[in-house]
Amino acid sequence: MSKSLDRIDLQILKEIQADGRITNVDLAKRVGISPPPCLRRVRALEEAGYIQGYRGLLEPRLLGFDVTVFASVHLSSQAEADLKAFEDFVRQEPMVRECWMLSGEVDFILKCVAPDMTKFQDFVSHLTAAPHVRNVRTSLVLHNSKNEPAVPLEMKAK
C-alpha cells in the first residue's frame, strides 16, 4: 500500500527529479527541513517505490546514435504467453530503449535508437522475423520538440 504524500514529500520528489545528484544537505535546505529527517523521507520514498532509481540522461547523438525510430508492432496472437514472449524478446534487444503495450490496433510501440539506418534496418528484419509478429510500421524521428521524462508533479493536487 502506498503512503500518503504530504507537501514536503512532493517537494522532495520534485527536487530529486530536477537534479538526481543533489546532496541530502542541499535537498533538506530546498524543502525546508533538517538533513536527518530529509534522508529518512527519501529512503521511505525509495522503499515505497516512488523513487525507482537514479540515472544520468545522456545525449544519444553525441554518442553516435543518430537514428531514433518508433516502431509500431502488431502481433498475430494476443495470448498471454505470446505477449510475454514478445516482451522477453525486446528486453534482449539493445536498440529498443522503451517498449509499451497498447490497447487498440497496435499491440506494442517501441522506441529504438541506432547508430545509423543500416543497423536499424537490420534490426527491423530481425524484429519482423520474431515469433507472432504480424507487421511492423516504423516512423523515423525528424525532430524532438519536447523531452521531459519527469512526472508533472505540479499537476498533483496540493
Which pTM value belongs to this model?
Answer: 0.86
Q: Where are the domains of the chain?
A: 7-47, 61-140
Task: Write the CA distances from 127 to 21, 35, 60, 100, 145, integer angstroms.
Answer: 37, 49, 22, 15, 28
What CATH number labels 7-47?
1.10.10.10
Q: Are the folds of 7-47 and 61-140 the same?
A: no
Sheet harboring 133-140: ordered strands across?
A: 96-101, 108-114, 67-75, 133-140
Query: Tens-of-pLDDT digits for all 158 residues of the chain?
Result: 456 899 999 999 999 999 999 999 999 999 999 999 999 999 999 999 999 999 999 999 999 999 999 999 999 999 999 999 999 999 999 999 999 999 999 999 999 999 999 999 999 999 999 989 999 999 999 999 999 888 999 887 55
What CATH number labels 61-140?
3.30.70.920
